[in-house]
Amino acid sequence: MSSPAVRRVVLLSSLLCAGALGFLPCSHAAAVAPGYVAVSAASFVPSSTCSSPDPVPPQRRNGTSAVLRLTHRHGPCAPSRASSLAAPSVADTLRADQRRAEYILRRVSGRAPQLWDSKAAAAAATVPASWGYDIGTLNYVVTASLGTPGVAQTMEVDTGSDLSWVQCKPCSAAPSCYSQKDPLFDPAQSSSYAAVPCGGPVCAGLGIYAASACSAAQCGYVVSYGDGSNTTGVYSSDTLTLSASSAVQGFFFGCGHAQSGLFNGVDGLLGLGREQPSLVEQTAGTYGGVFSYCLPTKPSTAGYLTLGVGGPSGAAPGFSTTQLLPSPNAPTYYVVMLTGISVGGQQLSVPASAFAGGTVVDTGTVVTRLPPTAYAALRSAFRSGMASYGYPTAPSNGILDTCYNFAGYGTVTLPNVALTFGSGATVTLGADGILSFGCLAFAPSGSDGGMAILGNVQQRSFEVRIDGTSVGFKPSSC
């Protein structure tokens, strides 16, 4: 086998024709085998500089749509009000990610939600039955304005939550509220603010998120997240301004007066789930229940969140589309059917029954979870492909058990990984969708035939378009 130095010379020539991320065809077929891609090893190193101040293509500003800039919460492209927050360690990120994934799998299987620290778990039996459960541990933020006059609010976005909320005055210091850089939203200063009254249809529509009792004839809400975080306050309405030309009058949200948990720094949460309280459902009359997003490949770049079709025709050219399936036990989630995986251009031998439970498309889970048989086949094929280049392995990193040490390599050659969904929709991942933290960015979870989760690593750089019947993927979109 050739030395690493020789391999670096050969692979560098292939990189020049393959492009920085290896998406372009390469004329040196002998340098990079079919089904493999060569990328710069430096591309895996985080940057401290934002390289895309405005990633929204001009054509997406036309038609009935609202476009918001989407950034990683802890990256240099995040709003200045959030960018000073210390990023969690890899270990903390993966631990939190595992809690979120386990929580989702419990929900979709019909099992009871579970809180994640020992004190919360012990107290779970005493949580009021009216408390709704969603999931914490999020990654991406947008900034919109709330109220009249508008006050900027930086909120985490979550396709796995329905109810949106921000911290509101009055809200005293911890433990009643967590620290945030922005001033708290003050409903008394907004001429368009109104508390939702008890007993009406809007309050009744909260369902599991409704508080068990009213206070001063105002509708209360309570949400507890899978990591033990929670928010409670008054269900309210106000004007939500998404862009200079797009405002949602009478937007219903939680005005939070008591929060605790892992939200520190951001002003609240923007729910994009499938149920009525979500922003998507509330604006369906204006934007048709259609939204799309493009998660940036790195914290140093930016993506976008679009409500509406984004163009005058309503067409979605360039998307590989699969059917959206129901999720009876947890109707908040967007579920599709994963049907196959290929590595290095070769289809893996995985029985269809392993994927039968469906796959949740989730912006908040970091790495994709696969049924055990599918993950074992993927790991074996990927390790075999990497072994042919002699890359030294590295110790496992939490839930990630296939890791490499690329120190000293100018370029790295990876076997392509492609995911196939129902109706033949195929998503061919870039290097950023294959490796994360130096490891194969997949993990096993649940059981064969149970639910899988498509995490945000595998969604990065794709525009993911969701409507009432389908989910589409368009590559190289941000």
Query: Among all residues, which ones are annotated catalytic?
Result: 158, 362
Question: How many angstroms separate the CA atoms of 434 and 451, rounded?
Answer: 21
Question: How many angstroms separate the CA atoms of 140 and 202, rounded?
Answer: 29
Residue type, position 104, single letter: I
- CA-based angle 139:134:111, to the nearest 5? 125
Question: How many angstroms separate the CA atoms of 237 and 192, rounded?
Answer: 8
Question: How many angstroms separate the CA atoms of 27 and 4, rounded?
Answer: 22
In order of 115, 372, 373, 376, 434, the CA distances from 380 in angstroms are 34, 12, 11, 6, 14
In order of 50, 234, 357, 384, 418, the CA distances from 450 in angstroms are 39, 37, 4, 27, 21
Question: How many angstroms separate the CA atoms of 105 and 103, rounded?
Answer: 5
**26, 413 contact by CB (below 8 A):** no
Within 13 A of 385's CA, how many CA atoms are on the CB side?
Answer: 27
Long-range CB contacts for residues 287-290, cutoff 8 Å, separation at least 24: 287/64, 287/65, 287/66, 288/64, 288/314, 288/467, 289/467, 289/468, 290/465, 290/466, 290/467, 290/468
